Amino acid sequence: MSFRKITTVAGLALGSLVSAHSNAHHAFGAEFDANAPLTLRGDVTRIEWVNPHAWFHIEVAKEDGSKEAWRIEGGTPNTLLRRGINKRSIAIGTEIVVDGYWAKDRTNSANGRNITLANGKKMFMGSSGTGAPEDGADTGR
């Protein structure tokens, strides 16, 4: 398992572009940075299946061997259910890759867009219309 946090210049540039399309909604914009896309890989340790947003906690292994706990905000449980994700869809201990956006305060918190499972299956875990960047993650869903 590896740790990858993509905040490269290219990523920031892309983030700058997509942020131009951001809608105004405090839920995303107040907490998360549309200019800081990231990718996290880790094992699921905790799922908070709650309103108004579900949270997925993962443990990310860093390159030096240490581990970091991250919390990933998902969409509302109702939204996730419509996407085919329920509270039992991802078992504790499952390795997932999350694409999302880093918290503005740079804590280990992110807004998740896509989850990719070990078998390559990708699921949209966010919400549309919350002010998150229109990055195509929810296209056609």
d(CA 83, CA 61): 28
Question: Residue 63: is it exposed, middle or buried by C-beta count within 10 angstroms (0-12/13-18/19+)?
Answer: exposed
Q: Contact with another protein (CB under 8 A): which of 42, 74, 77, 126?
A: 77
4/46 with CB nearer another protein = 46
Write each residue from 121 to 140 as x if it is in contact with another protein (CB under 8 A), else as -, in one continuous string. Answer: --------xxx---------
Piece in contact with another protein (CB under 8 A), picked from 7-15, 60-68, 72-80, 116-124? 72-80
Structure token pair of residue 113: 């867009």
What is the total count of residues that contact another protein (CB under 8 A)? Answer: 25
DSSP H or E segment with residue 14: helix 9-19
d(CA 26, CA 49): 21
d(CA 100, CA 93): 20
9/91 with CB nearer another protein = 91
Piece in contact with another protein (CB under 8 A), picked from 7-15, 20-28, 63-71, 94-102? 20-28
- Residues at the interface with another protein (CB under 8 A): 23-30, 45-52, 76-78, 87, 92-93, 129-131
